[in-house]
Structure 1
Amino acid sequence: MLSVSAFRRVVRASAIYDVLMIAPFTTPWTFLLLREHLNALNVSLGGLPLPVFGPFHLLISSLFGSVVMVWSVLRMLDPQPRFGRYDAAARYMFSTWMAWALLVTGQPVLWLFLVPELAWGLAQSLPLRRSEDARGGHARESLLR
């Protein structure tokens, strides 16, 4: 069990990780640079070359990157436990789709995204220690407060 202050540090750390990882996804130009590196890494891990991205794919990746960037900055500036719980749920959803893509494509580069997603999801799912001054013996921060 984590104290609320320790949990807030986990939420902030996951947000910092996301900012660093997602920044290249926020514009079509930066994503194209990242895609070349991901392609080379995937091939060096034994995978096939990644598919070519057209303008529509770049739009989707940039929209995804932009939304995650805003969400990450919010969690960095205000690392509330409830934001960590919501982020854990989002990470489990992302992990599900990554696992599906891994099963369908077998592309090894997906492991580099899937493992940290699951780890951050688990870290933000840990129970909070009961607060001494909480009313009724419940943790100060609930899932949705």
Structure 2
Amino acid sequence: MAYALHPSGRSYLRVVRASAWYDVLVTAGFATPWTYTLLHGLLSSVGDVLGLGALPALDPMQTLYANLMGSVVVVWALLRILRPLPVHGLFDGVARVLFATWQVYALTHGVTGLLWAFLVVEVSFGAVQLLPWWRSRGSINEPAQQRV
């Protein structure tokens, strides 16, 4: 059965690349202490103006975790931009489910409502990258089962 979006198709790899470009654009500012300081101020100001709440005061531990997350996500995104593979979409989809889970946890514990915008994108890219795998799970597994 053919699907509009199948893990082995070119359209799927375009989605993998698009999600990677989004990640670079959104997380590059988290990757260094200097850019995170600027981004933190901007996000706090936007949160205040929109009535969604500011970020907590900047501290070295928060900066460290933001930099670790930003660095890893940027490197992972560059791999998906330069050498996209269907399996990268599968793993990225799983990572987005994890990110979304922790974002929901944070939202239920009172963090700034700005996080909702990021959550919507995480869930969207996660679904678009995982659904084709779920739909084609029988046809993808058939060759592996025949080798056993």
| TM-score, reference length from structure 1 | 0.85
1:51 Cα shift? 1.0
Structure that is richer in helix per residue: 2
Distance 2:85 2:53 in 1: 41
Output one character per residue of 1:69-113: Cα deviation in whole Å (capped at 9) or x when no partner. 110000111111111010000001000111111111152101111
Mind listing any 5+ residue stretches in structure 2 that lack a counterpart?
144-148
Corresponding position: 1:72 with 2:72? no
Distance 1:87 1:47 in 2: 28
Mind listing any 5+ residue stretches in structure 1 that lack a counterpart?
131-136
Partner of 2:123: 118
- The residue identity in structure 1 corresponding to 2:45 is A
Match of residue 108, structure 1, among 104, 113, 117: 113
Distance 1:45 1:20 in 2: 22
Structure 2 contact 80–88 (Cα < 8 Å) conserved: yes
Output one character per residue of 1:28-61: Cα deviation in whole Å (capped at 9) or x when no partner. 1101101111101111221333211211211111
Structure 1 runs, 4 residues or longer, greater than 4 Å off: none
Partner of 1:91: 96
State the identity as a percent.
44
Partner of 2:139: 138
Distance 2:22 2:53 in 1: 27
Distance 2:44 2:15 in 1: 31
| TM-score, reference length from structure 2 | 0.84
Structure 2 contact 33–63 (Cα < 8 Å) conserved: yes
